[in-house]
Chain A
Amino acid sequence: MYNDMPKVDLKVVLLGSSNVGKTSLLERFIDDRFNENLPNQSTIGAAFASKEVCVNNIKFTLGIWDTAGSERYQSMTKLYYRGAKAAIVCYDVTNLESWERAKYWVRELRSVEETCVVYLCGTKKDILDEGKTATPDLDIVERYAAGIQCKFYLVSNKTGEKTSELFDEISKDYISDPDNLHSVMEAITLTANSKTDSRCCPIG
Chain B
Amino acid sequence: MANPEAPGVDDVIAEPGIEPGASAETMLVTTDSFEEYEQEMSNSIDDRQMKESTTSTISELQEDIREAPPTPTAVSPTEPKPEPPDDLELEDNTQQLSLNSLEIDPLRNTTWLAQRKHIFILSQAGKPIYSRHSSEDKLVTLMGVMQALVSFVQAGNDMIRSVHAGDTNFVFVVKGPLILVTVSKTLESVPQLVLQLTYVYNQIVSVLTQSQLTRVYEQRRNFDLRRLLTGSERLIDHLLNFMDKEPAFFLGAIKCLPLLPSMRDAISQTIVQTCGKIKNLVFAILLANNQLVTLVRMKKYFIHPADLHLIQNLVASSESFKTVESWTPICLPKFDSNGFMHGHVSYLAEDCQACLLLLTVDKDVFYSLSDAKQKIVEKLRRTNCLEAINESMNKASITTAEIGLPEMRHVLYKCKSTAQFWSPGFQPPYTTDEEIERLLGLYQCLHHRLHAPNRPLKLIFQQLDKETMLAWVTSGFELYLTFEPLVTKPDAINSVSKLLKWIKKEEERLFILNSPTF
A interface residues (Cβ-Cβ under 8 A, vs B): 2, 4-7, 18, 23, 26-27, 30-31, 35, 38, 40-49, 66, 68-73, 76, 79
* B5 at interface by CB-CB < 8 Å: no
Please determine whether A45 and B234 come into contact, CB atoms closer than 8 angstroms.
Answer: no
Please determine whether A2 and B324 come into contact, CB atoms closer than 8 angstroms.
Answer: no
Within B130-176, the residues touching A (CB, 8 Å) are none
Please determine whether B318 and A41 come into contact, CB atoms closer than 8 angstroms.
Answer: yes
Proximity string of chain B (207-251) to chain A, C-beta cutoff 8 Å, 1 when within and 0 when not? 110000000000000000001111111100100000000000000
Partner of A38, one of B230, B319, B325, B367: B319
- Given the interface contacts A6-B367, A7-B371, A18-B231, does A44 sit within 8 Å of B314 by beta carbon? yes
Please determine whether B365 and A47 come into contact, CB atoms closer than 8 angstroms.
Answer: no
Q: How far is the CA of A140 from the CA of B67 in the complex (A)?
A: 56
7 other contacts beyond A45-B343, A69-B231, A72-B207, with CB at 8 A cut-off? A2-B368, A4-B365, A42-B230, A45-B326, A48-B325, A68-B231, A72-B230
Please determine whether B324 and A47 come into contact, CB atoms closer than 8 angstroms.
Answer: yes
Q: How far is the CA of A68 from the CA of B318 in the complex (A)?
A: 14
Please determine whether B367 and A4 come into contact, CB atoms closer than 8 angstroms.
Answer: yes
* B454 at interface by CB-CB < 8 Å: no
Please determine whether B319 and A35 come into contact, CB atoms closer than 8 angstroms.
Answer: yes
Please determine whether B234 and A42 come into contact, CB atoms closer than 8 angstroms.
Answer: yes
Q: Show 9 A/B contacts (Cβ-Cβ < 8 Å), sorted by A.
A: A4-B367, A18-B231, A27-B320, A27-B323, A40-B237, A42-B231, A45-B328, A48-B366, A72-B208
Partner of B231, one of A6, A26, A44: A44
Please determine whether B230 and A71 come into contact, CB atoms closer than 8 angstroms.
Answer: yes
User: Closest chain A residue to B314 by CB distance?
Assistant: A44
Please determine whether A40 and B329 come into contact, CB atoms closer than 8 angstroms.
Answer: no
Please determine whether A48 and B234 come into contact, CB atoms closer than 8 angstroms.
Answer: no
Partner of A70, one of B230, B319, B342: B230
Please determine whether A44 and B318 come into contact, CB atoms closer than 8 angstroms.
Answer: yes
Partner of A46, one of B232, B234, B326, B368: B326
Proximity string of chain B (370-407) to chain A, C-beta cutoff 8 Å, 1 when within and 0 when not? 11000000000000000000000000000000000000
Please determine whether B326 and A47 come into contact, CB atoms closer than 8 angstroms.
Answer: yes
B-side contacts of A76, CB under 8 Å: 329
Q: How far is the CA of A69 from the CA of B227 in the complex (A)?
A: 12
A-side contacts of B227, CB under 8 Å: 71
* B364 at interface by CB-CB < 8 Å: yes
Please determine whether A48 and B327 come into contact, CB atoms closer than 8 angstroms.
Answer: yes
Partner of B234, one of A18, A30, A40: A40
Closest approach, in angstroms, between the C-beta of B100 and any C-beta of chain A? 31
Please determine whether A71 and B228 come into contact, CB atoms closer than 8 angstroms.
Answer: yes
B-side contacts of A79, CB under 8 Å: 363
Q: How far is the CA of A4 from the CA of B369 in the complex (A)?
A: 9
B-side contacts of A43, CB under 8 Å: 231, 320, 326
Q: How far is the CA of A26 from the CA of B320 in the complex (A)?
A: 11
- Given the interface contacts A18-B231, A43-B231, A72-B208, does A49 sit within 8 Å of B323 by beta carbon? yes
For the complex of A and B, the 5 pairs showing the least CB-CB separation, nearest first, are A42-B231, A45-B328, A40-B234, A47-B324, A49-B324
Please determine whether A30 and B323 come into contact, CB atoms closer than 8 angstroms.
Answer: yes
Closest approach, in angstroms, between the C-beta of A68 and any C-beta of chain B? 7
Within B319-373, the residues touching A (CB, 8 Å) are 319-320, 323-329, 342-343, 363-368, 370-371
User: Closest chain B residue to A42 by CB distance?
Assistant: B231
Please determine whether A45 and B329 come into contact, CB atoms closer than 8 angstroms.
Answer: yes
Closest approach, in angstroms, between the C-beta of B334 and any C-beta of chain A? 19
Q: How far is the CA of A38 from the CA of B370 in the complex (A)?
A: 26
Q: How far is the CA of A26 from the CA of B324 in the complex (A)?
A: 9
Please determine whether A41 and B326 come into contact, CB atoms closer than 8 angstroms.
Answer: no
Please determine whether A41 and B320 come into contact, CB atoms closer than 8 angstroms.
Answer: yes
B-side contacts of A70, CB under 8 Å: 228, 230-232
A-side contacts of B229, CB under 8 Å: 72
Please determine whether B318 and A48 come into contact, CB atoms closer than 8 angstroms.
Answer: no
Q: How far is the CA of A35 from the CA of B234 in the complex (A)?
A: 17
Proximity string of chain B (27-64) to chain A, C-beta cutoff 8 Å, 1 when within and 0 when not? 00000000000000000000000000000000000000
Closest approach, in angstroms, between the C-beta of B338 and any C-beta of chain A? 16
Please determine whether A2 and B328 come into contact, CB atoms closer than 8 angstroms.
Answer: no
A-side contacts of B208, CB under 8 Å: 72
B-side contacts of A42, CB under 8 Å: 230-232, 234
Q: How far is the CA of A70 from the CA of B208 in the complex (A)?
A: 12
User: Closest chain B residue to A30 by CB distance?
Assistant: B323
Q: How far is the CA of A68 from the CA of B328 in the complex (A)?
A: 10
